[in-house]
Structures are given as structure tokens and as C-alpha cells.
Structure 1
Amino acid sequence: MYGTLCEAPQDPYRGQTPSVVGGERHGVEEDVMSRRSRIVAIVLAGAVSLGMSATSGSAAPAAFPSDRGGTANAAVPVLDWGPCGDDFGGSEGPPGATFSCAWATVPLDYDRTQGQTLRIALKRLEASQPTRRIGTLFINPGGPGGSGVDFASFAWALFPQDVLDRFDVVGFDPRGVARSNPLVCFRSFQQLDNVFGGVPAFPLTRSEYRTVDAAYTTYTSLCERNGGPVLDHMSTADVARDLDLLRRAVGDRGLTYAGYSYGTQLGSVYANLFPGNVRALVVDGVLDPVAWTTGRSAADRRLPFSSRLGSDLGASASLGQFFSLCGRAGPDVCALAAQGDPRTVYDATLAALRRKGPVEVDFGDGPEPVSYQDVVGASLGTFYSPYGWGDLASGVSLVAAAVGVAPVAATSPSSAAAAAASAFAKREPMPQTFEGFEGVACSDSVNPTSREAWWDAGIARDALAPYFGRAWTWASAGCATWPGRADDRYTGPWTAKTSAPVLVVGNTYDPATPYAGAQTVTRLLAGSRLLTVAGWGHTSLGYSTCATTVVGRYLVSRVLPVQGTRCSFDDVPFEDAGSAAARATDARAAGIERARAIVLSGLPRAPRR
């Protein structure tokens, strides 16, 4: 697959000098969200999944032998691999795929390695050519709160065959998530619905503010009451320590890792805690680690972490692309273009919803209420993928007609409703831990302690990124009163010199982790290489054959792309009708979509009805 590139048989990594290639230097629970209205289903898929450090990243790189992870006194887990039961998704896969599962015992507190323990769930897709096996590729789908076990079930669809031939691919549920001693604040789904039912994703009025504030206050008090010991031990640093024990448990001298979305933060923390243990590390859909933890100034520390990320600016750029590509596609493909200028129609529709409040819209199953927050969330959710943008346009066009902004598009109402319904209902629930997002994100980050700060920051961010400033800011509202402590969290520095260079992948139009995050991590980690992917959506996972090939080559042979390499997505929004139809009948494409659903499954809650 990789032409004349060399493949080291066992790939020892310590002390190797980077090679020169082509003139460039190269280093070798079930979803607790009830099914809401169709438009709100998209909010679940795209509401928001992602946060700062006291260091600005200006410190000189540290030498990699000074690993500071704190796992030296911890016992290495013994992994007893066996068949995967139903609670692990079973052992079935496509022809040639062999799965096995195991539990790993790790310390609850790495300051007390002889004390309480946790059990970490793992699922392994075994290398298809074991005699040529290099080692284990650990993968993380992000969230935080996404299940690595579920993600591993679809690993066969995500990587080139050379990777699948030569690596066991292992996903694990991080501590406090899914099967791994999950943090559970609600005693029942009914209790969850009692707290968040009817609560908007973000407030527009002071009345809505009081509703949101009360819901999060109740939620976090339940976490304090019911969370148990894991509540204080869910930081990304503790997950990175677990990951290093898992690396040792599988017998690998260095870590091979691919992390997506929030999984890039885990990659950054690991690279800085264990810089000498990196064999090959890929981060795709990259968070700025300084922004995720504490920020770069005293003023930053007074902001909610989710308003510091710049994700709202990424979403706003995606919205601009939506308008531009809709206009280019024309009224036969984009229903908003049939009603006038797409931006004008969209803006007027949102303004009317904000003035009037929710309106009844028929997406094919009878009228249902649609709010300003619903349309914002539906837009954001759609932008996580290059597919379905035409369906979003059809849905918004129906809302525009309902509020009296524009007549129904020339497309017949029934076909427009069918398209909208397809977009708004297509994302099926995936297993997740409801509390996983706050459990990790609030543990990692510095935040204000009054939700008034969220109110003020949301207004300020909406001025910079209309529609999405409030949506992203309020994603972290639980952090104001979060009861957990994380004494062992990691907040920098972020400039360690790793034993092998890191591959950083960034999309130009990512609505959750803007391209700037990938640029920042590339600057912070000496020797790392940035792969730019021209495309639309959150991460490049499964959407760019070029990027998949580059990542696969790096994982197997540790060959970095030439400086300045750019890839593109295989499909362009509004031009995907034929491709989408083909993907629907293709097993690998279906596997990619299931895997991407898991990447999104750790997102914070959406409005609940």
C-alpha cells in the first residue's frame, strides 16, 4: 500500500535518530438521551463536545527521558483476553476480523497505588497477520465520555489494511465512562428527565437562565451525593497514566496511539507526561491543550473553558461555508436557495424564532415545536459531517415557512419534509455515560464558580460568533458547581520533546476543534508535523482517503508527510447525493458512520422534551 517505504519488522524506537526521506526529516450505558423531536436529534449529534493551562507554551522543550507520569510504583495489569460478551458488543465482525476483550485493574489514585482500584474495559481487534505484528494501536474516540470499547468494534473500517495487518487495535473505556466504573449521578432515566426535561441547551432570556441554572445545580448536587470515589479521579492525566500501564501490559516499548476530538487532549497529555514512551502518536480534530486547561492569562481563567476554545468561531466558519455552498449548488439542490439568499433567509428565520419563541413545524410526522436553540443545534450537528447539508437546508426552509419568513421552497412540501426528516432522525443513540463529559472536562479545566459568568461570556461570544457563541459557552455550564476534585490533573507545560515526532491532523472547516488548535499543538510539540485536510466536518476520520493513507503510513513505518502536505475530503457538501447513496450500501462506509457516531456520543446534553 505504501509503495517503496520501508517497514521495520519489530520497530524498536528508543534512541533512534529520525531518518531523512525525500529531503525531509521523518521520525520513524446505553444512551440516556430520550428520542426527541427530529430537529433536536441533530442537536444531540452536534451540540458540543469539547477546553486551558497556565503556561502559554513558550517554555523550552524538555528532554524526553524525564518522564513524569507517576506510574512507576503501580502494578502492571495482567490482561486475560477472551471472548467478548454481549455487554462488550460481542466478538462478531466482518470476515477476517477477530475480537477479544479483557479487564485491566489500575489504581484509583496514583498517589496511593496500593489503595483502591478501578477496572478498565478493553476490546481488541487482533492483527490479521500476527507473524508481522508490530504491536498495539490504542484508539480513543473523544467526548469526553465516548466509549473506546464501542469504537474498537468498528476499527476494521477506519484504518488501511497495512495497519490492520500489523497491529492489534485496542479501544478502552476511560475511567468513569461506560463500562469502566462509570460515574453515575442519576439513579434512573426518569430522574434525569425530571432534571433536564424541557431545559434549553442554552438560555436567551433571564427566565431561561434561571431554568438552566436550577437544572445544573440539581444535577451537580446529585453527582456529589451519588458519584462515589471515581468523581475525584477522572482527569485526563489519570487516563493517560492508565494508558501507559496498558501499554506496558501489552508489552509495547513505546505507545502507538490515534486520538480523535477530545482524544487529542489525551494524546497531548500523554506526550507531555510520558515523552520518552512515544512510538507513533496521531491526533486528529485537535484541541488546544492550553485552552482546555487554564488559558493564557488571568482573564482567561475567569472564563468558562468552553468559551475559550474558539469552537464557536469554527462553527461560524462552517455556517459561512453552508451559505456559500448552498448558493453555489442552487435551488434544485439547496432548498434555502429556492427561498432567496441563503444567509438572509437563515438569519431572518432565527430572528423570528427569537422574537416569537418556538413554532410548530411538520417534518412529516405531524407538527412539533421548534425553537431557536433547536435550529442552532441542528445546524451545528450537521456541520460535523460533509453529508446531510442539503437535508438541513430543507429542514430550515420548512421552519422559515412556518415563521412566515419565506414561502415553502419550490420542492414539494412532502419531499422537503422527507429530506428534513432524514437529516433530523438519522443519528441513532449510541452507548455513553451521561456524566462523562463533566467528569473529565470540569476536572481538567479552570472555570468560574458562578453561572453568571456563563451568561456574560455567552453574550460576548455570540457577538463574535453569532448563534454558536452561546451554544458553545453553555456546553460547560455544569463546571460552575462541579463537586469533583482532580488533584493530579495536568495543566502544562506542553512543550516536551517526544522520543518520536507526533502527527497532527487538522480540518480547515471543523465546527468543534478549529484548525488553529492543530496549528498550536504543532508549534508546542517540537518535531511534530501538521497534516492539513481541506474539508468540512469534525475530524478527518473516514472522510479523506488521502489523510487515511498518510496516517496509515505513519503508524506502520513512522514516516511523516512532507512539510506542507495537504489532503482533501473525498466529498463536498451538497454534491454528495450519489456518494451518500453508495455509502449507504457499503459495509466499510457504514462502519465508518457507526464509528463517527461514537466520536459524537460523548457530547454534552441537548434540549430535552
Structure 2
Amino acid sequence: MAAVLLLSGCTLGPSQRPALATAGPGSLPPVSTDASSSVSSPPSGAGGAPRTADPVRWTACDTLPTSATADGVRYAVDCATVRPDGSGLLGDPIAVARARADGVPADAPTLVVVSGAPGQNPADAVVAVAAGLSPAVRDAFAVVTVDLAGTGPRGVRCLGSTAGQALLTMGGDPGSPGAAALLAEQSRELTFQCGDEIGPDLTAVNTTTAADQLDAVRDALGGGGLRLLGRGWGATLGAVYADRYPGSVAAMVLDGPADPRAGAVDRLTAVAATAESTFDAFAAACLARQDGCPLGDDPRARVSTLVTDLDTVAGPGSGRATGGSVLLDLVLSLGEPDDWPALADRVAAAGSSGVSAADPLLADLATRVGLVGADGSSVPTSGWTSSALVYGCNDTATRLTSEQLTAAATTARAGAPLFGAFTVGLLGWCGNWPAPDATLGAVRAAGAPPLLVLSSTGDPWAPADGVRALAGQLSSARVVTWQSARSGSYPASACVTGAVEAYLVSGTTPTADVLCPP
């Protein structure tokens, strides 16, 4: 759910890009060997002077073994803390973890990886994060993960199990008058809970603050330029960082960033529109199954009817699977084509199992957002989902009343009949949130070295038009686009992976934007 809500702080806009090069299977895009800034002195950005912090002291981790094996590769693991400027929550030590594959020395250059929503891959997930990289990158760098403001084990935990279940069982149209009123009540309760826990820093936990803390981490890791691989929100964070500290960037790969220029409603409407087209591809794949499509001969009609039927029987806030549960699972899973067969089975089962709160679809959602552990154990609060909600609301100034939410959902439905109202309705969770300290806006990163921006043409979580719009703002971006509906192109695409490895390991940058084949 947070993967969708975090997109609410963005919008689409014009983009002027250089010529496009098409890369064939197994080929590398045209490259330039100049991967450094041409300016004689480091430029300063919106963040002002670079942050400073005491050097890290790597020691054994409290919660991780000193070595671990993943996918047949052994990693040395250690941990440290960085103390940022600030008080309260913003002054809490930043946990940092490092994983080095066999053969990577302790003095190897570092690659900071921020993957997914805030806190979704915390510092103690460093081995899994490193194992998710391609071998050439994994073997060239010490991989570092961080717990920025409000994330990690010490982070925000204000989303209780009741509110979490409400997230999973919204109506298919949260903007309908009754559902909007209920959502406003839930939003007020969430705001009080988060305010009680976080205190005066409630509105300061945002992407801008995270970028400033990231610069303190950069200095603690030894100074010099920051190498970052960001995915999803982590990619958006990277763009904000490059704008605030362009002179502190060594290299950045931004995989599926959002355009942070504003327009929460516009952004979620774009997400809904992309989800509609990706759903058509999902439906075609279902109909081509040799064992038959569990959603029948017309998957779109079947899902539309199912959403209406479940909402009629259960209704939002019932704690049982609703039409919104179905749409949420679809939006979260459409960006993962490998999961499409299981997704079709889950949706079909939701229709055949009635409104049981324990059906496979609702159980899958609970695991995804952390309400239930991967082993099926009960989790009283969802840490990273709490963090994602706080960041999502603090990064945008959009606050919709129930009436405005109803109007926005109606408009979105006209262009995206299946997903429009539901996706825009997610903004209702921020309806009672206080005004933010620092909303996101245009990013230029003037003076930064070349930045590599990755996109997938059918990614429902990061619509390609929005990725291109962001790249069009950045002064030195090159875009590598994969013709795929998958969310996240590295290292799934060999063509994209080749460009990333050439950029990070060899310091070569495409001379033109690149289009990679399916």
C-alpha cells in the first residue's frame, strides 16, 4: 500500500530529452567515459554546505551475524552508527550496515542502496539487499544500507493493527460519500496516534530531511562523493539529494523514481491509468494460461463485478476482504509479472470464498505491508508502512476534505474506470495531517555529474511519463528505458544491467537515452 501512497507527492510534466539509442539483446548502449562533473569547484545546492559527521567505526552487529551466505555468496557483515544534527527523533543515531562479498576488501568503495519505501529494506536487511545486485556491482563495492529518520527498528510505529486492517479493507471507491466519511475518521485517528508517538517532529520526517541525513552518512563513510543506487522512493530520494548536494554526488542510479514536482491527485491518476493498461496485459496473460484463466473469459468484467459484490456484502472497515482489497492487491502485484498467475488465483479465490477475513488475498496483503510476518506470525504494528505513511503525507501539501475526495475520485474514474477512484482515494489517509514542513518540488541538480535514470514502460508504480519528466528536470540525466511492465528494471533486464554496470563499475555513461528490448 505504501508503494502507492508514496507516489502521491508527484505529478507529470513536459520533458525534453536528447536522441534515443536502441540497444539490442546483450548489447551495451553508447557510452561516454566522462562520468565526472566538469566544474572546477563543487557546486552547492538547496541543502547548503555539505553535512559533517564523525567517521564510522565498523563493529560487529547486534542483530546480524558477522558473516552470512545468500544465493551461494558469502558476505562479511558489520555495523556502525552515524549521529546526525538535530534533536528528538531527528537526532536519533542512524543505523548503518555493510555487506562485502567474498574478495571485496574492507577499504573498497561504498555503494549506498536505498530500496523501496522508507524503511522497507532497513539496515539489517543489508545481506538480502546486496544479494539482489548483479555480480559485477556486488563484487566491486561494499554495499551499505541505512535507517534514515523515522525508519528501522527505532523508527515510527504509529500504524496499529486496527488502522492497518482498515488500510487493507478500504472500499473499492474510497471517495464515495459513506466511505469518504469513514476514511476521514480513520485519518484523524492515525494523525493523533502518530502525533502522540513522534511529537513535535511529526511533520519533519520527510524526504528532504532524509536527504540531509544521507549527506551526513556520506561524510561519515569517508567523505568524497556519494555513490547511490535508489529504487522506488529510494530513487526519488536520490534525485532530491542530487539537487540539494550536487557537489557531493559521485554516481547515482535512480530506478523508477517519481517526479517530485507536486500534484498528488494528478500523480495518482497517472498511476491508475498505467495500472489500467498493465491490467490488460495481465488479463491477456491469464487468458493464455494452458490451465485456463481462473478469472473466466473476461477478466476485467469479472474483477469489476467482484469489486462491487465484495463491497456490497462486506463494506469498508468491516475487517473482511472488500473490493478495495482486490484492487490494492492488483496495484501492488501488477508490477511483478512473475506473480501474475498467483495473483489471478488469489483474486479468483476472493470471489469464491465469500468475504472471509482469512482468505488468501487478504493474508497476502497483510504480509506485504508487515501486519503479519512472513512466517505467519502476528505483528502488532507495521513499521515500514507507518514510516511510508508519514513520509507520504509530509512530502505533499495536498489535504482533501471528504467532499473534495469524492470529486477527485469521480474525475479519476472517468479516465481509469477500474483503478481511478480507488487509487486517488488513498489520499484520504492524509486528509487530517498537519501542514508539512518541506514539500517536494522541482529538482535540477545543477552541476552534478551524469546521473543514470531507469524506467520501465508499463511500470504501474512509477509511470514512465513521470520518470521522463523527472529526468527532463535534471541537468545531467541519461534515461535507460526497458520495454516491460515490470516494476524495477535492474537487474531484471540484461540490457539495463549492462548500462548500470558500465556506469557504476567502469565510469561510463550513455551518450544518449537508451531503449532496451523486452
Q: TM bucket by the smaller chain?
A: 0.7 to 0.9
C-alpha distance in structure 2 between counterparts of 1:395 and 1:228, whole Å: 40
Q: Find 2:253's aligned residue among 282, 288, 305.
A: 282
Q: Whose Rg is larger?
A: 1
- Which SS does the other structure have where 1:325 is aligned? helix
Aligned pair count reads 478
2:25 — aligned with what? none
Q: Are residues 1:183 and 2:156 paired? A: yes
2:424 — aligned with what? 473
2:21 — aligned with what? none
What's the offset of the Cα at 1:133? 5.8
1:107 — aligned with what? 85
| Structure 1 runs not aligned, ≥5 long | 1-43, 296-302, 360-367, 404-417, 570-609
CA contact (8 A) 2:2 2:389 kept: no
What's the offset of the Cα at 1:456? 1.7
C-alpha distance in structure 2 between counterparts of 1:91 and 1:281, whole Å: 28
C-alpha distance in structure 2 between counterparts of 1:233 and 1:369, whole Å: 35
Q: Are residues 1:321 and 2:286 paired? A: no
C-alpha distance in structure 2 between counterparts of 1:492 and 1:541, whole Å: 26
Aligned-residue RMSD, C-alpha: 3.7
C-alpha distance in structure 1 between counterparts of 2:187 and 2:100, whole Å: 42
Q: Which moved more, 1:143-152 or 1:117-126?
A: 143-152
What's the offset of the Cα at 1:357? 3.1
Change (3 A) 1:56 1:184: same
C-alpha distance in structure 1 between counterparts of 2:436 and 2:407, whole Å: 25
Matching of residues 68-467 of structure 1 within 5 Å: 68-70=45-47, 72=49, 74-86=51-63, 91-94=67-70, 95-108=73-86, 117-126=91-100, 128-130=102-104, 135-179=109-153, 181-185=154-158, 189=160, 192=163, 200=171, 203=174, 205-290=176-261, 294-295=262-263, 304=265, 307=268, 310-327=270-287, 329-330=288-289, 332-336=291-295, 339-353=296-310, 356-358=312-314, 370-399=321-350, 429=373, 432-448=383-399, 450-467=401-418
Q: Are residues 1:544 and 2:505 paired? A: no
What's the offset of the Cα at 1:274? 1.0
C-alpha distance in structure 2 between counterparts of 1:373 and 1:500, whole Å: 43
Change (3 A) 1:551 1:333: farther
Q: Which moved more, 1:123-132 or 1:380-389?
A: 123-132
C-alpha distance in structure 2 between counterparts of 1:527 and 1:129, whole Å: 33
1:66 — aligned with what? 43
CA deviation string 1:382-420 (max 9, x = no partner) = 2131112122223334455678xxxxxxxxxxxxxx998
| Structure 2 runs not aligned, ≥5 long | 17-37, 375-381
1:37 — aligned with what? none
2:476 — aligned with what? 527
CA contact (8 A) 2:15 2:469 kept: no
C-alpha distance in structure 2 between counterparts of 1:126 and 1:166, whole Å: 9
What's the offset of the Cα at 1:51? 3.0
Letter in 2 for 1:166: A
What's the TM-score once normalised by structure 1's chain length? 0.69
CA contact (8 A) 2:250 2:449 kept: yes
Change (3 A) 1:74 1:398: closer
C-alpha distance in structure 1 between counterparts of 2:466 and 2:129, whole Å: 25
Change (3 A) 1:58 1:512: closer
- Which SS does the other structure have where 2:212 is aligned? helix
- Which SS does the other structure have where 1:513 is aligned? coil
C-alpha distance in structure 2 between counterparts of 1:195 and 1:420, whole Å: 15
Letter in 2 for 1:376: L
C-alpha distance in structure 1 between counterparts of 2:352 and 2:273, whole Å: 28
Letter in 2 for 1:314: T
Share of identical aligned residues, percent?
25
CA contact (8 A) 1:345 1:400 kept: no
Q: Which moved more, 1:369-378 or 1:423-432?
A: 423-432
What's the offset of the Cα at 1:545? 3.2
C-alpha distance in structure 1 between counterparts of 2:50 and 2:323, whole Å: 53
C-alpha distance in structure 2 between counterparts of 1:137 and 1:383, whole Å: 29
